[in-house]
Structure 1
Amino acid sequence: MGTDRIARARWIALIVPAALIAGAYGFQYIGHLYPCEMCWWQRYPQFAAIVFALAAFVVPARASRLLIVCAALAIFLSGAIGVFHAGVEYHWWQGFTECTSTMAGHGGSVDDMLARIMKAPVVRCDVPQWTLFGISLAGFNALVSIPAALVILALLPKGKR
């Protein structure tokens, strides 16, 4: 029973962040919704969770549990950042930044760089680019990540093995 629960936890720890990152990149490259700085902050722990979860598939069982816990904590952290970001978007509290910009390409003349800066989309952290039922992408990240992390942790057997 315990091995089955660990296997489920390991798969959830891999599938959830992979799906969320795939969705984020889908919205970015297909939907042309460029990430703000706080969107990137949510992605970094998901990247870490994917690495932890993948590593949990190749290490011995004893180490696997620790890696799954690390993945769950990273997923939870991403969700917590999503709560903070959603609060900034809904103007419940002030964020650390008000806008960021992505600038494709590097180098070239000063005029080339200035032209790229002027063409780059300005993405504000305090304005959601997309919502569904009043919930932003940051809100959806929180609604998926936090419960998923708790489910992963609940699936793991208690105590030392």
Structure 2
Amino acid sequence: MKKPMRLSTVAFFMILAGVAALGVAWWTQHKLGIMPCELCLWERWPWRVLIVLGVMVPVLPARVGRGVLWLCAPVLLVAEGLAICHVGVEWKWWPSPFPACHAAHVVGRTLAERWASMPLMPSKPCDAPTYLIPGLPVSMAVMGGVFACVVFVTLCVGMVRSKKIRRF
């Protein structure tokens, strides 16, 4: 029989996964200069929540900490859902649900009115995939979805292994 896993180990892994996901996003944006689209920005939120939940676990009683860790499961499902939504937009299966993902609407009759209606920063369209690895046609949205799935499975396995073994 395998040795039971500690809740703090599972919590640390959730923190590490969230930091890794946000770290890759930060590196892509600030070091590679690739601007995120609106869906990319939304995809970052579940990882932030995951970090907060993971940080809470060590300061809580074990029973409450276990419940908080189980809250990571729906958060990861949200991350997976956002990734699937983004991949569907990239592959042109459906339009993006966010208006910022579409081309800006420039209105006005004069050039000054048109300039004034333009957004301050250009936004990246959500249907333009970002490929990090040259020659590998796997977008960041696909990688994010796969990563969320791996973290979800790891969470479930860790939670089952951390369950207290009761002997009668």
How high is the TM-score relative to the length of structure 1? 0.79
Distance 1:29 1:53 in 2: 26
Q: Residues 13, 30 of structure 1: CA spacing in aligned structure 2 closer, same or farther, 3 A cutoff?
A: same
How many positions carry a matched residue from both structures?
150
Q: Deviations over 1:58-115 (max 9, x none)?
A: 11111111111112321231122112101210112222136269xxxxxxxx99x949
Shift of 1:52: 0.5
Percent identity of paired positions between Structure 1 and Structure 2 = 23
Deviates more, 1:85-94 or 1:47-56: 85-94
Runs of 4+ in 1 over 6 A off after TM superposition: none
CA RMSD for the aligned pairs?
A: 2.8
Distance 1:22 1:91 in 2: 28
Note if 1:156 corresponds to 2:159: yes
Report the residue type matching 1:37 in the other structure: E
Matched with 2:55 is 54
Distance 2:60 2:126 in 1: 39
Gaps of 5+ in 2: 104-111
Larger-Rg structure: 2
Shift of 1:9: 1.8
Matched with 1:117 is 119
Matched with 1:104 is none
